[in-house]
Structure 1
Amino acid sequence: MIRLKTSCLLFCLGLVACSESTTPAVHKEQNKAQVTLSNVHQDIKVLASDEFAGRGPLTEGETLTINYLAKQYQDIGLVGAVNGDFLQQVEMAQLTPDQNMKLSIGELSFNAGSDFTARTQQIQTSIEIDNSDVVFVGYGINAPEYQWNDFKDIDVKGKTLIVLVNDPGFATQDDTLFTGNAMTYYGRWTYKYEEAARQGAAAVLIVHETAPAAYPWSVVESSNTGSKYTLIDNNKNASQIPIMGWVDVEAAEAIFNQAGLDYHQLKQRALMPDFTAVNLNSKANLTLNNQITMAKSNNVIAKLTGSESPNEYVVISAHWDHFGTNETDTGPKIFNGAVDNASGTAATLEIARIMAKMHQIKPFKRSIIFANFTAEETGLIGSEQFANGDVIPTKQMVALLNIDGMNVLDGVDYILQYGKGLSEMEDYLAKAASAQGRTVKMDPRPQNGLFFRSDHFSLAKQGVPSLLFMSLGDTDPDYITHKYHKEADDYSADWSLGGVEQDIELLIDIAVQLANNGDWPKWKAESDFKTRRLQDRPSHN
């Protein structure tokens, strides 16, 4: 078992319990235990306090957070899922690219930050791109299920690729092309780097445009010029693309003009399935120098052991981390992340309390895992480590329910669904929502691809059917503009937590069904997720 720090325990004592919500109970008979909102208030208050300093990985805030969570799970009566311990160590590298670099393409020279960004996940102090051929490969997509391959008839080994952001469906708003306005994984920048690596490319530069990216260039610059974390494999991440980059659209236009080509015309051509890559008749040169620091963070993993099928697991998760504290000339700026994601972390604790009581009355047939992941905000790193199967093989995971920000205000008559037609978990969601008298409402911003941007996605890539529970800007229009990933995401004792209450009840409904019914939910759509699940469980599809 881990040792719990005295400072954490003292901090957690003596907190004043807040009043219970007066929100009418919805479908409580399914739970056989009521949500105690004073517990949720207290957990959010602790986790989002200034003492926890924004819960930054590798800081004292991490130590306080993981100790607090482990102590709560221990008090509930759960056991550590990591050989009896609650902590799963996550070894990662902190990579900080030197911004005193220049990108040259032909006769053009570009400045880091303002014109382009470049970083790597390879564990190398220096990576050089030397006279690499520059090729435009459209959207950089190879998707057999959509009869689409931007890499046909070209060998891109050692070359520098320029690719478009998002996917052709968004650009055309044609529902018959990919999934129209709703982003597929093929539109995510992560996929484009992964596919380019599989193709043997030396570098990828994604052309940034605000609408298809869903954020301005300032977000690209701030997210890619500082330190980033990555997991480390046995080969120092040599299978990753050497250079992961972005280029501003004006810089891209200049690169195409230099080759006597029109960027916007070629962008239109790239919308056709018969598009073939275009050589830009230029050479790329770049030297990327890295500062590398090895570090270790922790996931917190707790377990209720099933009575009949203890090696089959329903997983309930939320990331514990946020952005920590930034030191400025005017003093420290603490990013407390009360909604994102102290609320989701507090919900996993309350669900554990309720389900532990239910388990005492009538044990669940399957085991329940409660997982709080590290480093979600820096690239889903903790969940990726968990998805490697070191604690539990993915073939033994029935499904994942992931919480990333809750409705801390009053209850609503709907539940948001992220992704459409992906898996049978959507049927479980619809049934549980109907039992509460709620409807399923589709993600109002499908073009942002939120299904591919939270911890459940690490498990989905390994074939585990997953649901995302996220409520950020849909009930509080001010949240995204003024609080999301900002200092203002603070705890309030005035929150009713009516939305938290109803979503906890809904999550428990789904989890209890899966814990007892023997079902193995399936992927509906043909996808890499379904293919991966077939590898693990060929007899269940």
Structure 2
Amino acid sequence: MRLRFPLAAFVLAVATGCATAPAVAPPPAAPMPAAGATATAITAADLRLRVGIIAHDSMAGRAAATPGGRATANYLAREAARMGLQPAGDGGSYFHRVPLTRRTTVVNTLQVSGPRGDLGFTTADVVPVSGGGLPASSRTAGQGAIIFGGYLQDPSLPAARELRPQQLGGSVLLLRLAAPGVDAATTPPRAVLAPAFAPGSPVAAVLLVAEGELAEYFGYARDLIRRGQLSAGAQAPGTGDVPRFFLISPDAAERLLAGPLTAAREPRAGLGTFRYALQERTAAAEGMNVVAVLPGSNPATRTEYVALGAHYDHLGIGTPVAGDSIYNGADDDASGTAALLEIAERFANLPPAQRPARSLLFVWHDAEEDGLLGSEAFTDRPTVPRGAIVTQLNIDMVGRNSPDSLSVVGSRRLSTELGTLVEAVNERQSPPFQFDYTFDTPNHPERIYCRSDHYSYARYGIPVVFFTT
């Protein structure tokens, strides 16, 4: 994995410009790199050292509200103190509390029967899901006849082949997402299916085929059955009278359909029945942002802040991959976390008169992987006046791909001046990065602008820029 140490120096320059304007036992861990002293300059060796510490097996994947996550937060706070950064968390500490609720779903019954009997599905085939934009359901049991509903987004489906609304009552809908060639970001669901997701829906459950963008979420959803799902604040189990959502593996879907998915497009009934019974338990949990400040050099602007952020959490311990159950997250986002440490150290070692005029607010966010929960908590309850944050620069996943190009997202969404400044700073680099704005297009299906911590700041009108590779 190639570390992008030029990026750290570039983000440093942009900030200066703004100032003037487990269930599975883990394998034996290799020895953790000794922290030692790091150079005041941004170096590849220091970045490699820091990523090795943050992504080490002893951090157990850095899941939010776990001992591994807290160990990482403690390391970041120690480094901030060593650099001489001022604590800017709760109560004069480096830590900003993130109140959370852990919701664990126990699957008591999961039965899928086809025309010839029980198919023997387990949570390896079908798994309940919530979050990620799906409504929180209060339904803990249900059953119904399975109807294949085709694609959720399929404007070319002939009207003669469309489902009738009365077919949905008491049914379990098996759905695929967007039909081939359909823009999922701009195409609405088929009209007959929209009521299926509304409160009071007569649909008993929805089975989404875990393909395309849902494929990588399937394993994660299975892990959530074991460790529970985090949500913001003190929340009870779902209270919405909406259907339960499940992911079903493509192999299991093909067994239900008795044929390949490549041939499955038009709706049809007669696939069998689905029955489930769940139990939900909740418990209080707590994440931890790490927050530090380097005061600005100009007394007139010292009370204004340029925020720089990266999330330090990852996915913890889960389903083994090649015998390894620890998800180390070297790229996502130990790379950005290490880059932010290097940026902080470089600024902290400047003579006071050479530091930026505005103060620098360093925030290592927690619980980004659970839905931007750490950055939402910080922007909802900041430790500095929210109106004094003039911009936020976010670094997420900068540890791989081309060494001379950089994806830039959001730099002109709320401030064209910020976008111009970012480009001007880049032109002063030797050589400059090649900026790629592909992910910044408003209708891009990846929706990157809404998927990392900068978005929590943007929702309050704070200009942001997101750097990723």
Q: Into which bin does the TM-score normalised by the smaller protein fall?
A: 0.5 to 0.7
Match of 2:101 among 93, 100, 118: 93
Per-residue deviation, 1:115: 4.6
2:334 corresponds to 1:342? yes
1:52-67 correspondence to structure 2 within 5 Å: 52-67=59-74
2:289 corresponds to 1:299? yes
2:70 corresponds to 1:68? no
- Please list the CA deviations of residues 10-36 of structure 1 after superposition, one character each: whole Å capped at 9, or x if unmatched: xxxxxxxxxxx999x989988699534
Per-residue deviation, 1:86: 1.0
Return closer, same or farther for 1:469/1:117 CA change in 2, 3 Å cut-off.
same
Per-residue deviation, 1:71: 1.5
Partner of 1:313: 305
AA at the equivalent of 1:52: M
1:211-360 correspondence to structure 2 within 5 Å: 211=212, 213=213, 215=215, 219=219, 222=222, 225-234=225-234, 236=236, 238=238, 243-248=244-249, 264-265=265-266, 286-306=276-296, 307-309=299-301, 312-325=304-317, 333-358=325-350, 360=352
Match of 1:373 among 350, 362, 365: 365
Return closer, same or farther for 1:393/1:221 CA change in 2, 3 Å cut-off.
same
Return closer, same or farther for 1:185/1:435 CA change in 2, 3 Å cut-off.
farther
User: What is the count of residue pairs matched by the alignment?
Assistant: 403
Match of 1:417 among 408, 415, 428: 408
The answer to whether the 8 A contact 1:319-1:345 is kept is yes
2:37 corresponds to 1:42? no
Which sections of structure 1, spanning at least 5 residues, go unmatched? 1-20, 142-152, 174-179, 189-194, 268-278, 472-541
TM-score normalised by the chain length of structure 1: 0.57
Per-residue deviation, 1:390: 4.6
AA at the equivalent of 1:172: G
2:141 corresponds to 1:128? yes
The answer to whether the 8 A contact 1:138-1:162 is kept is no
SS of the equivalent of 1:468 reads: strand
The answer to whether the 8 A contact 2:347-2:355 is kept is no
Q: Counterparts of 1:184 and 1:421 in 2: how far apart (Å)?
A: 21
Q: Counterparts of 1:354 and 1:231 in 2: how far apart (Å)?
A: 35
Partner of 1:208: 209
Which sections of structure 2, spanning at least 5 residues, go unmatched? 18-39, 155-164, 190-194
The answer to whether the 8 A contact 1:313-1:399 is kept is yes
AA at the equivalent of 2:177: V
The answer to whether the 8 A contact 1:96-1:291 is kept is yes
AA at the equivalent of 1:430: E
- Greater RCO, 1 or 2 (C-alpha within 8 Å, sep 6+): 2
Per-residue deviation, 1:450: 4.0
1:127-146 correspondence to structure 2 within 5 Å: 127-129=140-142, 139=152
Per-residue deviation, 1:346: 1.3
AA at the equivalent of 1:246: L
Per-residue deviation, 1:42: 3.2
The answer to whether the 8 A contact 1:383-1:455 is kept is yes
SS of the equivalent of 2:61 reads: coil
Return closer, same or farther for 1:35/1:187 CA change in 2, 3 Å cut-off.
farther
Partner of 2:467: 469
1:64-213 correspondence to structure 2 within 5 Å: 64-83=71-90, 84-102=92-110, 111-120=121-130, 127-129=140-142, 139=152, 164-165=176-177, 171-172=180-181, 180=183, 184=185, 205=206, 207-208=208-209, 210-211=211-212, 213=213
The answer to whether the 8 A contact 1:196-1:204 is kept is no
Q: Counterparts of 2:368 and 2:385 in 1: how far apart (Å)?
A: 21
Per-residue deviation, 1:227: 2.6
1:19-30 correspondence to structure 2 within 5 Å: none
Q: What RMSD in Å do the two structures reach over aligned CA positions? A: 5.2
The answer to whether the 8 A contact 2:63-2:315 is kept is yes
SS of the equivalent of 1:345 reads: helix
AA at the equivalent of 2:276: L
- Please list the CA deviations of residues 34-64 of structure 1 after superposition, one character each: whole Å capped at 9, or x if unmatched: 5344443332232233443433444443333
AA at the equivalent of 2:141: E
Partner of 1:432: 425
Return closer, same or farther for 1:464/1:203 CA change in 2, 3 Å cut-off.
farther
AA at the equivalent of 2:346: I
TM-score normalised by the chain length of structure 2: 0.65
Q: Counterparts of 1:221 and 1:245 in 2: how far apart (Å)?
A: 9
The answer to whether the 8 A contact 1:165-1:209 is kept is no
Per-residue deviation, 1:348: 1.0
Partner of 2:394: 402
